[in-house]
């Protein structure tokens, strides 16, 4: 095999053993650090969005069941792309949940906010 391998970190050709992926430990470490920080940031960002969504629902759903226009959530920065689970009832209604707090979209861009049974704190 005459294939020249290059370092995954700096891209320079690797000399010596063919199973090496990096020139040295420094390249290996910087590659792994980069990988970890990107994935860590990705997870952290999504966790932050979910926590923020949950907090918005908690703040708006004072009575445990509240009907309000969708814009009330959007005003506060609610992100409808992120939720932790879905719950579809026998009648075919689908609730979106962020942890124990959820919402059901109804007509004219209104929502019914709910809290999951047994998980209310």
Asked if 101 contacts 57 with a C-beta cutoff of 8 angstroms, the reply is: yes
Rg (CA), the chain: 24
Among 23, 56, 73, 115, binds Zn ion (CB under 5 A): 23
The reply on whether position 8 binds Zn ion by CB under 5 A is: no
The reply on whether position 7 binds Zn ion by CB under 5 A is: yes
The reply on whether position 27 binds Zn ion by CB under 5 A is: yes
- Of residues 20 and 52, the one with the C-beta less far from Zn ion: 20
Token pair recorded at residue 47: 């966790």
The reply on whether position 9 binds Zn ion by CB under 5 A is: yes
Burial class of 79 by CB neighbour count within 10 A (0 to 12, 13 to 18, 19+): middle
List residues near Zn ion by CB under 5 A: 7, 9-10, 23, 27
């Amino acid at each position: 095999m005459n294939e020249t391998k290059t370092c995954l970190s700096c891209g320079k050709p690797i000399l010596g053993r063919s199973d090496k992926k990096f020139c040295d430990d420094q390249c290996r470490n910087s590659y792994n650090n980069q990988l970890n920080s990107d994935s860590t940031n990705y997870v952290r960002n999504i966790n932050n969005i979910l926590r923020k969504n949950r907090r918005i629902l908690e703040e708006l759903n004072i009575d445990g069941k509240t009907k309000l226009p969708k814009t009330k959530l959007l005003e506060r920065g609610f992100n409808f792309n992120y939720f932790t689970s879905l719950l579809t009832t026998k009648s075919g209604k689908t609730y979106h949940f962020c942890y124990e707090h959820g919402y059901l979209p109804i007509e004219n861009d209104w929502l019914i906010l709910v809290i999951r049974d047994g998980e209310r704190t």
